[in-house]
Amino acid sequence: MGSIFAPVKRVAGSHELLWNLTLRELRTKYRKSVLGWTWSMLNPLATVAIYSFVFGHLFGADAPIGVNSGVRSFALYLLCALLPWNFFLLVTNLGMNSMLANAALVRKVAFPREVLVFSNSLHGVVQFSIEMCLLTVALVIAGSYFFVWIPVVMLQMVLLALFATGLALALAAGNVYFRDLGYLWQIFSQMWFFATPIVYMPSLIEGKVPNAVEMILKLNPMAVFAQGFRRSMYDSAFPGWDNLGACAAVALISMVLGWAIFTKLSRRFAEEL
């Protein structure tokens, strides 16, 4: 049992290093940028504007009416799923490149290597929290008074962070040995994005694709997270124990498998880098 929790104890023992690395990431994120952290919201807003024009105006896509909120806004419907996706992509991309970006540190200093991945995840959590606060204000103005579900939204954010971090650990380890992984991940993540009902409603694919494909799309973890966030924030309703249970399950599996892969492959990081 002790060996199972040994990696957790190593990271806990390096909490000061984790904190300092996280602060470094936050301070250098928008260094010498005029707008600074304003970009953390301008980027998704620009994406929403583009998708709203293409899908909302050109293709006539429309958002459903919020179940309890009565809100009907394609931009807000899009943001409720787009912000979690952007966070997931940020954590996995930064985490995947964390070993290569800190190669000199990994070669010369002995410390728990996973701390580099976790520092990027915490940096992503800060940015994600800022974006979600601004989205909350926009939803309240639009009429979605989901204050009672804020603890549920926070739980969903934690579970999504665990899911993304677990995957980032596996990607970081694999990227040390197989440098083409970054390019493959870019292609795969683009496919994953459009396989997730973010710019369209889940009902759009029902009965229009083969049953096997529809089943695979429904088992998509990010689709489950997107549905949960929309249910809590856009609909102002409880996402359901089945949704939260599925999110918790994929988060746990991702962390356990990702950390196990990272621990096994990390023994030769210094040599490979």
Q: Does 11 fall in a domain?
A: yes
Q: Per the structure, how many domains does the chain have?
A: 1
Nearest to 152 by CA among 69, 247, 222, 74: 247
Q: Does 161 fall in a domain?
A: yes
Which token pair is 211?
A: 């049953």
- What are φ and ψ of residue 178, in 5° steps? -130, 95
Do residues 230 and 77 make contact, with C-beta atoms less than 8 angstroms apart?
Answer: yes
Contact partners, residue 120, CB within 8 Å, separation at least 6: 25, 91, 94, 95, 98, 168
Nearest to 84 by CA among 225, 190, 241: 225
Q: Does 1 fall in a domain?
A: no
**Residue pLDDT tens, the chain, 273 long:** 445 566 667 666 666 766 777 777 666 765 666 555 566 667 767 776 776 676 666 665 677 887 888 888 888 888 899 899 999 999 999 989 888 887 777 777 777 788 888 988 988 898 899 888 888 888 888 888 888 899 999 999 999 999 999 999 999 999 988 888 989 999 999 999 988 988 877 776 766 666 666 677 778 999 999 999 999 999 999 999 999 999 999 999 999 999 999 988 888 776 765
Q: Tokens 């290569």 — which residue?
A: 100
Do residues 203 and 62 make contact, with C-beta atoms less than 8 angstroms apart?
Answer: no
CA separation for the pair 49, 114 (Å, rounded): 37
- For the stretch 77-115, what's the b/e string if a residue is b when 16 or more beta carbons lie within 10 angstroms of its beta carbon? bbbbbbbbbbbbbbbbbbbbbbbeebeeebeeeebbbbb
Q: Does 198 fall in a domain?
A: yes
CA separation for the pair 255, 8 (Å, rounded): 11
Domain holding 229, by residue range, is 6-272
Q: Tell me, what DSSP letter sits at residue 256?
A: H
- For the chain, give the number of residues: 273
**Can you give the pLDDT at residue 105?**
78
If one counts every other C-beta atom within 10 angstroms of the C-beta of residue 222, the result is 22
Amino acid at residue number 215 = M
Q: Does 260 fall in a domain?
A: yes
Do residues 164 and 92 make contact, with C-beta atoms less than 8 angstroms apart?
Answer: yes
CA separation for the pair 55, 48 (Å, rounded): 10
